[in-house]
Amino acid sequence: MRVFCLILICTLFFVSCNDAYRTQNELKVATWNSYLFFDSIDDRVEYDGFKWSDGYTPEAFYKRIESTIKYIDRNFRDPDLILLQEVESEIVLKELLERGLKRRGYKYYGLLKDDDNTLFVGFISKIKPISFSYHQAGSSRRILKLSFNLNGERVNVLSLHASSRLKEENALKRAEEFSLLSTLFEEERGELAFALGDFNSDFRVPGELISSDKDAVIQVTGNRGLASERLLYAPVLDRDLSLGEGTYWYEGEWSFLDSALLNKESVDGLGWDFESISVISPFEGRDYFSRPLKYDVKSGEGYSDHFALLMTFKYN
């Protein structure tokens, strides 16, 4: 495993050093695959359909920014931290804050870039991280790690966008990514840690690399009382929770490619503890068939082909 400092972290305005320590009783974290969120610069890395010649001009980009700000403001229920996937550059994050989200208290943003990719994992936050790094194994995509000091307790957040399922050869990369993720959880024993993002894997499906199967790369349970050092809690498997059909629709099937994993310290009833998780699927974010309404360059309408997730913790 290789570990690096994440140096692309920016503040939008001056805050005191005390901002790194926060006292609060609730923590809300959202994750959202924001769907091919290219910036306003046509630098020839854009996918087909997202070039200036396709109509994705600076004007279209800024209209999308404004629309996304309103969508987040109306539907995300004011999370402290928003993790985003499929972001091209820091320009996207900066404009989201400068054009509206800064007024909601978001002060920090950062982007984690991969060498062989065009779209990346980013975040915007009301809370200043006390540390930030990325982790990589082999040819895998990088995993972002953010740590916060909340009520004197260290809260570790892992964020990833696992390799796509559209190419069979990516199965090996996902195995590397999930093996690395397992190692990162092991390193955080004794401290609260959870992972959110687009796993490109549905934990409910037998035979997946993350599942309840004993031979899975990461073994999970839907019973928070069974969470242990080797068994992570996956809310999507919890029968006491009602999360709906999924976050992503593809070829006639729903799946939970967007999901969460929590270690035992997240559900032990001490300090910060998992409270709830929900799918953000408002009417304006759904099409006629209640599937995610993805952004359309020509019309400027829609948002993403993924629904977002919101997870809440309470402090005991």
Give the per-residue pLDDT at 246.
97
> In the prediction, which pLDDT does 19 show?
60
Q: Give the span between the Cα atoms of 307 and 248, in whole angstroms.
A: 7
- What is the model's pLDDT at position 115? 76
Those residues with Cβ within 8 angstroms of residue 272's Cβ, 6 or more apart along the chain or in another chain = 27, 150, 151, 153, 155, 192, 266, 313, 314, 315, 316
Query: Cα–Cα distance between 188 and 197 in angstroms, integer?
Result: 18
The C-alpha atoms of residue 190 and residue 312 are separated, in whole angstroms, by: 20
Strands (E), 151-296: 153-161, 192-198, 210-211, 218-221, 232-233, 248-250, 253-255, 258-262, 272-280
Q: In the chain, pLDDT over 90 holds for what percent of residues? A: 85
Low-confidence ranges of the chain (pLDDT < 70): 1-22, 116
CA distance 249 to 291: 7
Question: Torsion angle of alpha carbons 10, 146, 215, 307, nearest 10°?
Answer: -60
CATH superfamily, region 2-315: Endonuclease/exonuclease/phosphatase (3.60.10.10)
- What residue spans define the domains of the chain? 2-315
pLDDT, residue 10, reads 43
Query: What pLDDT score does 165 carry?
Result: 87
Picking from 197, 195, 174, the residue whose alpha carbon sits closest to that of residue 184 is 195
Question: Which tokens belong to 48?
Answer: 């087909």
